[in-house]
Each structure stands twice: as structure tokens, then as C-alpha cells.
Amino acid sequence: MKRFFLIFGMIMFATLILSAQGFEPVAWEFSAKKVSKNTFEIHLTASIDYDWQIYAQTSPEGGALPTQITFIPNSSVVQVGKVKEIGNLKKKYERVFGIVTEFYRDSVDFVQIVNLKTDNVVTVKGSVYFMACKNDQCLPPKALEFSVILQ
């Protein structure tokens, strides 16, 4: 039992140290790609450090925090369908949560197709809320705002 508390304490201490140092195991890039006159793909691409992972949007309840992508309403933009995930989805039983989780390692590209109602340049804004974990260690969830220009 002593050993369990020692290991648990070390994991918690490492998590606090990494958080305090501003360690970021996930780097995000936000971009837009024009696919036709008024149709664009908005890409939210996560590059994930070795051995770290972030969770799919469909991560089951009771487990890790699923990645959540929110777009600020814009009367000039119509979202087409849901945000798609492009990457190597992995599934694994995680004893920390007691369930099978869905996650990505290395990288994942979240893609939202949108149609513009105008021929003008439009800025789309939103946020991505995610949690990064490694083995039995998770960093606190983080929200990042993004802005992409559609032209």
C-alpha cells in the first residue's frame, strides 16, 4: 500500500511540475482550405508529443474528457455536418477510468466543412477544449481559442 501511495504521489508531483512549467504536449494549428467558390474546410490540427494522447469527440462518459470543438455563431457561415476526425483512432481499456477510451496519438485533424452566404472575407472563430494524457498522467483540460479567415 505504501508503494501505491508513493507512485501515486510521484505521478501527481510530476503532473504539477509539468503544468507549472507550461509544458505543452499538444501543438495546434488552425487553417482553412477553399474547396469551391463558397465552400471551405476548417482544419484544427493537433500535433501530439510522443507517448501523449488526446481524446476523440466521442470518448465515452465516465472516462477522459472528450475533445470539444465549438464555433461562435456567424450569420455569414453555415456549418455542413459535424466536425470530422482524420487520424489513426485508437481504442484501449484504461484502468484509470475503468472503460475503453478512444484517442489519438501523434496527430489528428479535426475538419469542419462550412458554406459562406456571402462573397466577402469572413472570419470564423471558436474554441477547442481538450485533455492530454500520458500513461497514468493527465494534464488539466485546456481551452484554446482559434480564428481562421475564409477568403
41 CB-contact burial (10 Å; exposed 0-12 / middle 13-18 / buried 19+): middle
More confident residue, 148 or 23: 148
- Give the whole-angstrom CA distance, residue 35 versus residue 144: 26
- DSSP 8-state class, residue 120: S
For domain 25-150, is the CATH number 3.40.50.11900?
no
Reply yes or no on whether the pLDDT at 24 is more than 90.
Answer: yes
**Average of per-residue pLDDT across 24-40:** 97
Q: Biggest alpha carbon distance in the chain?
A: 66
pLDDT for residue 21: 53
SS3 category, 37: coil
- Give the whole-angstrom CA distance, residue 12 versus residue 124: 38
Q: What is the mean pLDDT of the chain?
A: 88
Reply yes or no on whether the pLDDT at 111 is more than 60.
Answer: yes
Reply yes or no on whether the pLDDT at 19 is more than 70.
Answer: no
Residue appearing with cell numbers 469542419:
112
SS3 category, 139: coil
